Amino acid sequence: MSEFIPVLTKKEIDAQVSHIAQVISADYKDRELILIGILKGAFIFLSDLIRQLSIPVKVDFMCAASYGGSTASSGRIKLSKDVDIDIHNKDVLIVEDIVDTGHTLKYLMGLFESHRAASVKTAALVRKAERAEVDVIVDYLGFDIGDEWVVGYGLDYAEQNRTLPYIGVVTPDDA
The set of catalytic residues is 100
- Among positions 106-145, residues that touch ligand IMP (CB under 6 A) are none
- Residues contacting ligand IMP: total by CB under 6 A: 17
**What is the number of helices (H) and of strands (E) in the chain?**
3, 9
Question: Which range, of 21-29, 40-48, 53-61, 129-137, touches Mg ion by CB under 5 A?
Answer: 40-48
> Is residue 41 part of the contact set for Mg ion (CB under 5 A)?
yes
Question: Which range, of 15-23, 35-43, 80-88, 123-131, touches Mg ion by CB under 5 A?
Answer: 35-43
**Site map (CB under 6 A) of ligand IMP, residues 25-64, x = contact:** ----------------x-----------------------
Residues 6+ away with beta carbon under 8 Å from 137: 122
